[in-house]
Chains A and B, each alone.
Chain A
Amino acid sequence: MLPKIFFGYFAIAMVVLSLLIITRRNPVHSVLWMLVLFFHIAGLYLLLNAEFLAAVQVILYAGAILVLFLFVIMMLNLKEEISGERFEGAWPLGVSVSAIIFVLMLLTTGDFVHGPVGKYTIEVIKSETHAKALGKLLYTEYLFPFEIASLILLIAIVGAIVLAKRRS
């Protein structure tokens, strides 16, 4: 019963926060609501026994990505930009197309069939600790994708500098 109450709170709060994010006029308000949303997502990860991912969520998303957003918003002068019209002219079309896709997706979620379960039960993860179990898998089986991820980050750093530097 208690997990259901927690899940209900998180679900309602997350939906309301997402709606706030996409409807606020000022982008700074959107970013701050998004900060609250990311903390809720971290709480949901704790509910799912993924404590290392909850920490990563708070540090990386709330700590790094949102600060990047805030930096850029504060750097641009958006005073007159935010006073205009918020939505596209054709917004009813966008909402209705999304609603159709949403109904289609909800219709399919009920038909989900469980596959065979793996070996990482809660007891195994508890005895090994979550970070160690994740690290073992990441540095053995997923070593090559891990190296590709580092390459993606390097390209992102170089690309961001090249794109944003002042033309001389």
Chain B
Amino acid sequence: MVPLSWYIGLSTVIFMIGVVGFLIRRNIIVMLMSIELMLNSVNISLVAFSHYLQDLRGQILVFFIITVAASETAIGLAILVALYKNKEAVHTNEITEMKG
């Protein structure tokens, strides 16, 4: 039997890799993918909790997280397409309109 803490550790590692990817990459597409990575790591820990606590509510939460992730990806990519149409830019340092 694999201990629960291993799953939490794995989830933590993948979550932090997602955070690092979001912070250090310039490409907005890869930043969106890092967000997906973080959401997936949380899903892993929720399913592990659900299995070890013998309660299906964790897996219900995973459903809702998948729903929100799908909506977030659709909206994010639509914003990206609009941005590329208007400015021909996908890198964060080329988008400086909101700078004071």
Instruction: Point out residues on A near B: beta carbons under 8 Å.
Output: 3-4, 7, 11, 14-15, 18-19, 21-22, 27, 30-31, 34, 37-38, 41, 44-45, 47-50, 53, 56-57, 60-61, 64-65, 68-69, 72-73, 75-76, 78, 81-82, 84-88, 91, 94-95, 97-99, 101-102, 105-106, 109-110, 112, 114-115, 117-121, 125, 133-134, 137-138, 142, 145, 149, 152-153, 155-157, 159-161, 163-164, 166
Contacts and interface: CB of A to CB of B under 8 A. Distances in A.
A138 B63 contact: yes
Contacts of A15: 10, 13-14, 17
A118 B55 contact: yes
Nearest to B64: A149
- Name A's interface SS: helix
A165 B58 CA distance: 37
B66 A41 contact: no
Interface of B: 1-2, 4-10, 12-21, 23-27, 29-30, 32-34, 36-37, 40, 43-44, 47-48, 50-57, 59-60, 62-64, 66-75, 77-82, 84-85, 90-93
Contacts of B80: 72, 76
Contacts, number: 219
A68 B77 contact: yes
A88 to B, nearest CB: 5
A21 B19 contact: no
Contacts of A95: 20, 23-24
B54 A120 contact: yes
A115 B53 contact: yes
A75 B80 CA distance: 11
A86 B59 CA distance: 36
Q: Name B's interface SS.
A: helix
A125 B50 CA distance: 12
Most buried by B among A82, A159, A166: A159
Given A22-B18, A156-B71, 17 more contacts: A15-B10, A18-B21, A22-B33, A27-B29, A27-B30, A38-B40, A48-B47, A48-B50, A61-B66, A65-B73, A75-B81, A81-B27, A81-B91, A105-B16, A118-B56, A119-B54, A137-B60
Nearest to A41: B40
Given A68-B77, A133-B56, A22 B34 contact: yes
